[in-house]
Amino acid sequence: MNKRKVSAVNPSKWFEDICFRGTDSPVVVMRAEHREDIGRHIHDFAELVLVLEGTGMHGFGNKSYKLQEGDCFIIEPGMHHSYNSCEGLKLVNILIRSSFVEKYWEMLKEDPAYAILLGRQADEKRSTLKRPSLSQEELDSCMRIVAEIERERKEMKRSHTVMMTGLLLELFVRIFRSVQRAGAVKDDLRSPWLSKVLDYLEIHFAEEIPISLLQKMAGMSERSFQRHFLEMTGLTPLRYILRLRIAHACRLLREGNKSVYEAASLCGIENCSYFCRLFKSITGHSPRKYAKLSNK
């Protein structure tokens, strides 16, 4: 009876166990060079892929994507994909354990860049699509985080799983911001007005920002601005500003030289009780616990 229950939970979990080699690490980095085609296959874990060199075609469902240096994309658990026409294709495959997916994936999906990295914002009528592409500077920045993840896995110091989790989240945020800030989708899905508004918010997020100011910046009525902003970012303007504030607070708490009250004030939230509730709703931890885990 127990055997039937175990096999029914996740019959393909063995593949994850093999790839993670019996460790409790939330992430494994695998560097690969493909000179030949890799047939259609499936994973029971998630994967974040960075293209370092070469070219190739990435088969994804019934679509195909041309890959080149700087491209990045996400493979969700259970998705079939393949690599074809590979010419010196060097990849960094970042394998992400299912426990990380269960805990953080819904939060990551809220970022509008997630759908772009997954290929969902492309034109469904086209058979050949393009992926987001990072500049060399952005790719180098991401690879420094990858190197830190590899070092943590190799040294296996105390609390290495917490550190690796934090580094992986930082990597996602770095890529998300690169995709949105630079319009890294080659077909330029961002509108000029949105870039102008987001750039303004990145600088003035801690201030009182009336929606009327943003709508004038976008050249729209308030109702149209609210609707288009939600469509293009996946968040209302207020929710977007709150997430910017909490992201800034996370950086302050990680640095370890600011109290919770100071972090709240510096990111534009004077009510410390409200700040703590908002912080936990977005990150899953109280500010003090987040700071403690980061310091470890």
Domain boundaries, the chain: 2-181, 192-295
Q: What is the pLDDT of residue 92?
A: 94
State the pLDDT at residue 238.
93
pTM: 0.56
> For 65-94, what is each residue's pLDDT tens digit?
788 888 899 988 888 888 888 888 999 999
CATH topology of domain 192-295: Arc Repressor Mutant, subunit A (1.10.10)
Place of tokens 């110091």: 157
pLDDT of residue 184: 40
- Neighbouring CB atoms inside 10 A of 127's CB total 8
Quick one: pLDDT at residue 156? 83
What does the pLDDT look like over 107-159, one tens digit per residue?
A: 888 888 888 888 765 444 443 445 678 888 888 989 999 999 999 988 888 88
Phi then psi dihedrals of residue 53, to 5 deg: -150, 165
d(CA 230, CA 89): 37
pLDDT band at 237 (very low <50, low <70, confident <90, very high): very high
Per residue in 1-36, pLDDT (tens digit) is: 343 333 333 444 545 556 666 567 888 898 988 877
Nearest to 149 by CA among 50, 248, 287: 50
Which of 190, 283, 201 has its CA nearest to residue 233?
A: 190
Would you say the C-alpha torsion 214, 217, 222, 225 has a positive or negative sign? Answer: negative
**In the 3-class helix/strand/coil scheme, how is the chain assigned residue by residue?**
CHHHHHHHHCCCHHHHHHHCCCCCCCEEEEEEEECCCEEEECCCCEEEEEEEEEEEEEEECCEEEEECCCEEEEECCCCCEEEEEEEEEEEEEEEECHHHHHHHHHHHHCCHHHHHHHCCCCCCCCCEEECEECCHHHHHHHHHHHHHHHHHHHHCCCCHHHHHHHHHHHHHHHHHHHHHHCCCECCCCCCHHHHHHHHHHHHHCCCCCCHHHHHHHHCCCHHHHHHHHHHHHCCCHHHHHHHHHHHHHHHHHHHCCCCHHHHHHHCCCCCHHHHHHHHHHHHCCCHHHHHHHHHC
What are the tens digits of pLDDT across the range 191-235?
778 888 888 998 899 999 999 999 999 998 988 899 888 877 778
Do the beta carbons of residue 222 and residue 240 sit within 8 Å?
A: no
Give the residue among 57, 81, 80 at the shortest CA–CA distance from 68. Answer: 57
What is the average pLDDT value for the chain, to the nearest integer? 81
Confirm whether 2-181 and 192-295 share one CATH topology: no
Give CATH for domain 2-181: 2.60.120.280
pLDDT at 170: 93
